[in-house]
Chains A and B, each alone.
Chain A
Amino acid sequence: GQSLEQPSEVTAVEGAIVQINCTYQTSGFYGLSWYQQHDGGAPTFLSYNALDGLEETGRFSSFLSRSDSYGYLLLQELQMKDSASYFCAVRDRDFNKFYFGSGTKLNVKP
């Protein structure tokens, strides 16, 4: 089976940096993705890591350590519009299924 753990909620101020961690357990693993979901909206893709290391995309970066079954999403220069839920998702060894974590609600305050 699969299980993913994320903090349920994080609060930070505009302009700050926040890190959202994700630990996972899976019978097979190909990669870790991150998605953003605003209330009432569809999840949108942010990043994907298949190999160890850091992937940077603008203000967002994602890190993966396969040996530790751990990854994180780093959000820099926080803006109010970044207030949303963030989900990590494991792409499993079937290469065709994606299992999501419980989500982290990020609250950005002025």
Chain B
Amino acid sequence: GAVVSQHPSWVICKSGTSVKIECRSLDFQATTMFWYRQFPKQSLMLMATSNEGSKATYEQGVEKDKFLINHASLTLSTLTVTSAHPEDSSFYICSARESGGGTYNTGELFFGEGSRLTVL
């Protein structure tokens, strides 16, 4: 099956610094990738939709300047948490849809393993 690689898995940073998280589709092309945030024992909250070659679209309430998303190729999207603060500590997880193929119509999302961010 399709594989999505996300790293780093764990990151600890100081308040005020920036952290970049990468999401790669390893064996398929993904025009669209999604970034979610998950709090302990809670749902996946959609933060933004990352579109290859164009600007990301952010959900209401998500700060564009704090969570910078770049989707420079069909296999890579990055999320940069800028000027991180302790309240940004969370589990961030990306997902991708195949640009074509059988799973496109089913809407199946392939998820990365997630990145746990701790801001001190």
Does B27 lie at the interface of the complex (its beta carbon under 8 Å from any beta carbon of A)? no
Is A97 in contact with B108, judged by CB distance below 8 angstroms? no
- Residues on B with C-beta less than 8 A from A105 are 41
Does B113 lie at the interface of the complex (its beta carbon under 8 Å from any beta carbon of A)? yes
CA distance A102 to B41 in the complex (A): 9
Smallest Cβ distance from A87 to chain B, in angstroms? Answer: 7
A22-53 CB contacts (< 8 Å) to partner B: 30-31, 33, 35, 41-45, 48
Is A98 in contact with B107, judged by CB distance below 8 angstroms? yes
SS class, residues of chain B in contact with chain A? strand
The contact size tier of chain B is 20 to 34
- Residues on A with C-beta less than 8 A from B46 are 97-100
CA distance A100 to B109 in the complex (A): 12
Does B54 lie at the interface of the complex (its beta carbon under 8 Å from any beta carbon of A)? no
Smallest Cβ distance from A1 to chain B, in angstroms? Answer: 8
Indicate with 1 or 0, residue by residue over B69-107, a CB within 8 angstroms of chain A CB atoms. Answer: 000000000000000000000000101000000000011
Q: Give 4 nearest A-B pairs by CB, closest first.
A: A42-B111, A100-B44, A48-B106, A102-B43
Instruction: Name A's B-contacting residues (CB within 8 A).
Output: 30-31, 33, 35, 41-45, 48, 87, 89, 91, 96-103, 105
